[in-house]
Structure 1
Amino acid sequence: MAYFKRESDHAFHPTQHVSGAWNADEQHIAPAIGLLTHVVEVDRDRRRDDGLVIARLSYDILGTLPMDRVETSVTVLRPGRTIELVEATLTHDGRPAVRMRAWLMREGDTANLAGSAFPKIPGPDQMPSWDPTTVWGGGFIATADVRRVHTDTGRASYWVRTPHDLVEGEAVSSLARAANLFDIANGMAARARPEDVAFPNVDLTAHLFTLPRGEWVGFDTTVSFGPTGLGLTSSVIHDLHGPVGTLNQILTVRP
């Protein structure tokens, strides 16, 4: 089973595995983030054959989505030979719900310079299995295979994978598959119980210095709540080879 079924070139229907953690009658935004990543890459490959890669994904979440048909569109905002800026929008019934901007960049050989000071986290085989449905409801969370070490309030390292395809019958890149899991970060190191405090994110931005590979996506996450109703979930993203980038989500904290 997949998260979405394609209905046309630009329309998709969510399956039961997309239902949300805050409200099961609404879509979890994580699969939408993966879907827009996939849509941008499909559009790129239709327009050009020089293999630009996505280096930044930035999403603004404009509203909730019912468990219903959605449509996508892609616009090139800044064309270029080696760098371009692309915008993708996901709409429901004509209303924009998620808007994403992606910087695409040409790859080059910098293997002799490669490295990062971000610390590695233990692999998934070194962390215990954890059932996220003990905290969160919804179809999407139920699809997540999680290995986690919860070190403190608002602090955890963990790995996530899913057996489900992003779009039924379609091959997707390792990045789109990983992006499908990025938004789960806000619920894996929570500072408060979701039945006591609502803390949804209104955006998500990922910066990547290498593309994630493999089925496992690792996170080293810190969650912070401020004194005036704002919060931040900040993560370093990993694959099995080590750190690949960073991920940040701004929160509205509502006791």
Structure 2
Amino acid sequence: MSGIFTKRGAEAVESATAEKDAKSSAIVSFKSGTTLKVRVKGPADSAEYYAYGIFNRVNTFVPAQPATRNAKGFITANPTVWDRAADYLYAQAKAAKDAGDAAAAEELSKEAYLYKGKPRYLIGFGSLETGEDIVVDLSAKQARGVLDTIKKYAKKLDKVAFELSKSGTSTSTAVTLTPILDMDEDLTEAERANFVKCGEKPFDFALFDDCLYIADEQEQIKNLVVAGFDVAKIGLTLGAGASTDEAESDDSLPQF
């Protein structure tokens, strides 16, 4: 698996408590109001990664060469240009605080947070609609609840199907994983057959590699400009021929 993922499998569960080909990607659209009937194929079918982006300004992306992080997620080496932008703004916030300007310090800290990488989780399931592996992308908070439920039912995963649902908006968005206890009553014949099919082989972790949008450093710099950050402040320039036009919105990508 590529270096994009900072944790995978059981380690990702514990932590939570080039352009992808959309046609070949296992990731599914999971908007608010969606409910998916799924089989949990294994208790550790997940991977952690750090995503960057600003809601309604820059679509979520993953750096082609992620920063090196320790077990707690703190950067220890090779910060990305977005990490450098965040560090610059945090330094400005500290200077403002030291100068006694609390209001400016707070605003600068809020702006700095926008440029930080945030942990997100890809979680794999078996779809009872198709019988094939699928992947959903969740925030750390959303993943924590889902993975806690998986852990609770770990000994019954071969007997119980689940409904994965998303509701709410913005910061109040909630994701729940609810067991379907009466599968004879609540699943169709086709869904029961797909439950069996999904259990015939383990989740394919290789599917995670095609689920994320990867940006090289030049594109990351362009995205900083789109976001409104003056890249000259961290010693960068936008390369010749690069466009500052914002990319078209892609609903398949997570948004902060």
Same fold (TM > 0.5): no
More strand as a share of residues: 1
Q: Hey, which of these two has a bigger chunk of helix by percent? A: 2
Structure showing greater radius of gyration is 2
Greater relative contact order, per chain length (Cα 8 Å cut-off, separation 6+): 2
Q: TM-score, normalised by structure 2?
A: 0.22
